Amino acid sequence: MKTYRIYINDNTLYISASVPDFVENIEQLSVVGFHFPTFFKQISDLSGKTYLLQDPDPKALFQIIKSSCTIIKAAGGLVANASGNFLFIFRNKKWDLPKGKVEKDEKMKQAALREVEEECGVKIFSNDEKLCKTYHVYEMGGKVVLKKTNWYSMTVKGVPKLVPQKEEGITKAVWLSRTELDQIVANTYPSIMDVLEAGALLGQRVL
C-alpha cells in the first residue's frame, strides 16, 4: 500500500498504513481530530522532525489533507548528458533541479520539458520516464499551499553549454558526475533527495 511523504520545510510527514521501517525517531500523530493547516502552523518553525499519520487507508487520508490546502502543480527534470553527467542548478543558496509551475491547459510532462529548457538554456532530446512525485507544503498569502511536483528522466544530445535563467534566481547551472554529488547532498532539499533516489543516483536512505 502506498506511503505518502509530505515535506514542510525540513520536517517530514508520512501517511502510511504501517510504520516505515527505514525511518528513525518518528513521532506518531493521532488521526482522530487531525487538522492539517493547524499542524502546519504548529511545526512551521521546527526543523528536522519526522511525523507519522498511520491509517488503514492512507490514500483516503491524504485526499482529506489535500482538500484542506490550495493545490499548485509543478514539474521538473533530472537531466543526463551524453557523458553520463547530470544537470543541477543553484538557487536560493541551495542546490536544486530545474522545475516550475504547470501553466493552464498544459500537461505535466510538457511543463517539465519547458521549465528545464527555459531555466537552463538547453534543448531536451528525450523526456521519457516519470521518476516520482514529491509534495511540499508552504504558506502563501495566508493560505496553506500543497505543491505537487512530477519529476521526469530526461536526456540531451552531447554536452551542451548551460545558461542559467538569472531572472528566476538561478545563479549556476552545472553538469556533475555521480562522484561529485556529495556537495548536492550536503546542501539541497529533502524532495530533491527523493528524485535522486528515484533516478538511482543514491542508495535507499536511512533517515
Residue 193 lies in a domain: yes
CATH of residue 101's domain is: 3.90.79.10
Residue 90 lies in a domain: yes
Strands 86-91 and 143-155: unpaired
Please check whether residues 38 and 122 belong to one and the same domain. no
Among residues 67, 92, 122, the one where a domain terminates is 67
Please check whether residues 58 and 144 belong to one and the same domain. no
CA distance 125 to 160: 11
pLDDT digits (tens, 9 = 90+) for 123-176: 999 988 899 999 999 999 999 999 999 999 999 999 999 999 999 999 999 999
CA distance 203 to 135: 21
- What is the reported pTM? 0.91
pLDDT digits (tens, 9 = 90+) for 47-60: 889 999 999 999 99
Q: What angle do CA 170, 147, 132 make, to 5 degrees?
A: 85
Please check whether residues 25 and 56 belong to one and the same domain. yes
175 phi and psi angles, rounded to 5 deg = -100, 130
Please check whether residues 114 and 138 belong to one and the same domain. yes
Into how many domains does the chain fold? 2
